[in-house]
A and B are shown apart, each in its own frame.
Chain A
Amino acid sequence: DAGVIQSPRHEVTEMGQEVTLRCKPISGHNSLFWYRQTMMRGLELLIYFNNNVPIDDSGMPEDRFSAKMPNASFSTLKIQPSEPRDSAVYFCASTGGAANQPQHFGDGTRLSIL
């Protein structure tokens, strides 16, 4: 089975540019999570969706960040405008079913804002 697929794997862009990160969850999973990982702050939950509906976005750092899930097989995380402090590895994860089911993570997008 295909795992969680994220694109791009690496992104380097200049401050002020719009950045869009993409995620395809595992087929049949109905919950999707976006995380950010930095050396300073560790792994932070940004937002998660159940059945394509955003449930908790309290981890989104500010209004420059937005996330959408237009259907069960696709989600985007957008940063506009981007800033150097947004540089991090962004992970997407998905899960389905009961509370004891684990989350499956993608390989992440390494984002560098110059």
Chain B
Amino acid sequence: GNSVTQMEGPVTLSEEAFLTINCTYTATGYPSLFWYVQYPGEGLQLLLKATKADDKGSNKGFEATYRKETTSFHLEKGSVQVSDSAVYFCALSRANQAGTALIFGKGTTLSVSS
């Protein structure tokens, strides 16, 4: 079946450090891949997405590339800020099936200190 595996947190970094949060998936076909972010006390917000192999999603300095050969969608940012402290979720949607539920990873908590 379809599944998403994220690296376990928490991830603790100093401001301006490089960030990588690993995400791998198992899926049939060609799913779309997403990263969501959840700030304290808020709902999940879409951070970026990629819909086909080799696509790179980017937003607010974050990037992730859809790698079909390694079934991965790792999140990266070159220089994190304190305001990036949040929980990050990797997710996939089943290929070619509109209106189906996303499959989420368990989330990775990022804490950035100044």
Contacts and interface: CB of A to CB of B under 8 A. Distances in A.
A107 B42 contact: yes
Contacts of B98: 31, 97-99, 101
Interface of B: 32, 34, 36, 42-46, 49, 51, 89, 93-102, 104, 106-107
Nearest to B96: A99
Nearest to A97: B98
Contacts of A42: 104, 106-107
A108 B45 CA distance: 12
A12 interface: no
A105 B43 contact: yes
B51 A105 contact: no
Contacts of B44: 43, 91, 93, 103, 105
B32 A99 contact: yes
Interface stretch (A14-22, A48-56, A61-69, A74-82): A48-56
A50 B99 contact: yes
20 contacts: A31-B99, A33-B101, A33-B102, A42-B104, A42-B107, A43-B104, A43-B107, A50-B99, A56-B101, A91-B43, A98-B98, A99-B93, A99-B95, A99-B97, A100-B51, A101-B98, A102-B34, A102-B49, A105-B43, A106-B43
A49 to B, nearest CB: 9
Contacts of A106: 43
Contacts of A99: 32, 93-100
Interface residues of A, number: 26
Contacts of B100: 48, 55, 99
Contacts of A101: 98
A30 interface: yes
B40 to A, nearest CB: 11
Contacts of A104: 46
Nearest to B47: A102
A105 B45 contact: yes
Contact of A100 (B42, B45, B49): B49
A100 B93 contact: yes
A83 B64 CA distance: 41
A88 interface: no
